[in-house]
Chains A and B, each alone.
Chain A
Amino acid sequence: MVAIIAENPAHTGQAAYRMLVLRRTVLIALLVAGLFLSVSVDMALGPANYSLSEVLATLFSPFAATDQLRVVIWDIRMPIALMALTVGASLSVAGAQMQTILANPLASPFTLGISAAAGFGAALALVGGVAVFPLATQFMVPINAFLMAMLAALFIHFASTMRGVAVETIVLLGIALVFTFNALLSLLEYLASEQALAAVVFWTMGSLTKATWPKVAITAAIVIVVMPLFARRAWALTALRLGEDKAASLGINVRRLRLETMMTVSLLAAIPVSFVGTIGFIGLVGPHIARMLVGEDQRFFLPASALCGALLLSATSVVSKTLIPGAMLPIGVMTALVGVPFFFVLIFTHRKKSW
């Protein structure tokens, strides 16, 4: 380095930084452990309750378990438990990156209208049998939801690239989209038959009971493909939080990074919503909890966001099964009820600035 800064300071910063990294790694390991526990408990609960040890034994040596236990755990409960995990992770990572590229703490798939668009798309199929994509009509509901969600995400993206549109404006546009799609949804509900109305209402409440292994595989595949893409850009995405000019001055092509991230995030947000319906809270709060725990260095923030989202939705799934014995309440209704008190505790006990 330059002569003027060639003094030899005690490298206290270096040691303190290594400690900081260690603390964050431990926190992430704790989140992994918590998630494993939550998913296991989720699989133990249901009309027939099993002990945690029975569930773990069936997980690790399925052919040693009874046929009934194996079928219940592997074929019925595991897709639901893993769907909670993958959907929670997807929505939370989508929210985290939306907040990062739009520099706005309110950005999430729900607040930017992507979930509302998906809800409208699903309702089009359920009420009118209208397929946005005419082929594959047996998957009309998820495909409609996905296409409408992508459309909303693209609208948000292209609006954000227009000159003179500030990032605050993007969130306002998102809120306008929420109102627009909710109004259209209400109109469809008003026109719908009683049976179709019930289906739409149930869909918009969000439910993991629609989970199947192929849906779990698709959602997990998206997360597995997308995470390394974000990980490769970890330093650049973190630098975006220093401001657009600063990021550009560090050699980052801000416009391109935003475009690529928004397109990827659209997939992450649209696919889970198209499978399980509207789940609003996770994409907004998961990233905030991760931020409070590990800061915004994406090397930690990214896995922590995925884990926080997965843990939140998995824990909500547990609560939704235990609140009224024998009944599984819609997960979309429960996420906020479970997450908000926890979020309040974090906000009021966390003394450091977290946005």
Chain B
Amino acid sequence: MVSIALEQLGAQYGKHKVLADVTTDVLKAGSMTAVIGPNAAGKSTLFKRIAGLISGAGLVHLSDTEKGSETICYMPQDTGANAVLTVYESILLAAKQGSGWKVHDRELREIDHILAALKIEALAFKGLGELSGGQRQLVSIAQALIRKPEVLLMDEPTSALDLFRQVEVLGFMKNLAAQSGHTVMIALHDLNHALRYCDQTIVIADGSMIASGPTHDVISEVLLRDIYRVEARIENCSKGRPMVIVDGAVV
């Protein structure tokens, strides 16, 4: 199990800084952290920087110092809709990077397990190009899980899913974190999902970290007005859970 902490993390493309000074407390193994913020705030950049895909200032601390960035898996938004590959092949492909041609039965059994856990067995031999956006996101999650990461960075994994699938996938990820000790960071637009499923929340806007901490402390009416430019209330629903109710845009 691997916990993660970010220290003054920044990112840049060439000389152009796109992210600066992201510092968090320790994000514990088994926890789920939401990364929220307006469009183009820098959420994907933060994930790429944590995964070591782009360079920049600062440090990513892992609790298990012997493990490197290979224990971190970033799941991007793009899903290769043009590739002439079946879903099964695309998951196998994720598992086989860096290894030989031979495909072992053990590897195929693991794919079968993951497909069953995500309830997408029926898609196994469909082409990637035949899938809906939501189905492709589920395949992307399967591609991430097959690599057995301990830190999962998921970039808007529910953005193209219907409501049922959103709840199902987020519930699955929450259980995965709680039962298997994965550290999950997830970029979300739906703040109610963040309130319901995520222990911590990091807020990014204009390439800077605005806030970080327990989700219920971070998501506030002030934040919604200042960062999202909406008038909103946070009220408890009949089941006692806090919910964001948006009244309208800030005039």
Contacts and interface: CB of A to CB of B under 8 A. Distances in A.
A163 B16 CA distance: 12
Interface string B90-110: 101110111101010100111
B59 interface: no
Interface string B146-180: 01100000000000000000000000100110011
Contacts of A355: 82, 84
A297 B113 contact: no
A3 to B, nearest CB: 5
Nearest to A9: B116
Given A234-B101, A236-B97, A251-B70, A246 B116 contact: no
Contacts, number: 148
A7, A14, A249, A297: which has the most chain B beta carbons within 10 Å?
Answer: A249
Nearest to A235: B96
A238 B86 contact: no
A13 B105 CA distance: 11
| Residue from A239, A245, A297 having most chain B Cβ neighbours under 10 A | A245
Nearest to B85: A296
Nearest to A236: B97
A13 B112 contact: yes
A354 interface: yes
A6 interface: yes
B71 to A, nearest CB: 11
B38 to A, nearest CB: 21
Interface string A236-273: 10110111111011111000000000000000000000
Interface stretch (B123-131, B194-202, B230-238): B123-131
B113 A299 contact: no
B145 interface: yes
Contacts of A241: 80, 82-85
Given A4-B180, A296-B85, A239 B97 contact: yes
A323 interface: no
A16 B179 contact: no
A1 B148 contact: yes
Nearest to A103: B82
B7 interface: no
Contacts of B147: 250
B130 A9 contact: no
A12 B121 contact: yes
A228 to B, nearest CB: 11
Contacts of A239: 93-94, 97
Contacts of B13: 163
Contacts of A245: 48, 53, 76-78
Given A242-B90, A353-B127, A13 B175 contact: no
Interface in A268-324: 291, 295-297, 299
B180 A14 contact: no
A20 B125 contact: yes
Contacts of A103: 82
Given A5-B145, A250-B97, A352-B127, A13 B84 contact: no
B35 interface: no
Nearest to A14: B108
Interface in A1-40: 1-7, 9-14, 16-18, 20-21
Contacts of B111: 13-14
Contacts of A234: 101
Given A16-B125, A20-B86, A354-B84, A3 B180 contact: yes
B84 A4 contact: no
Given A242-B90, A353-B84, A17 B108 contact: yes
A350 to B, nearest CB: 11
A2 B180 contact: yes
A9 B79 contact: no
Interface string B111-144: 1111111000100110101100000000010010
A251 B76 contact: no
Given A2-B179, A234-B101, A352-B127, A9 B76 contact: no
Contacts of B70: 251
Chain A CB within 10 Å, residue with most, of B93, B103, B117:
B93
A243 B86 CA distance: 15
Given A246-B79, A249-B73, A5 B114 contact: yes
Contacts of A250: 93-94, 97, 143, 147
A243 B80 contact: yes
B182 interface: yes
Contacts of B77: 245
B88 A13 contact: yes
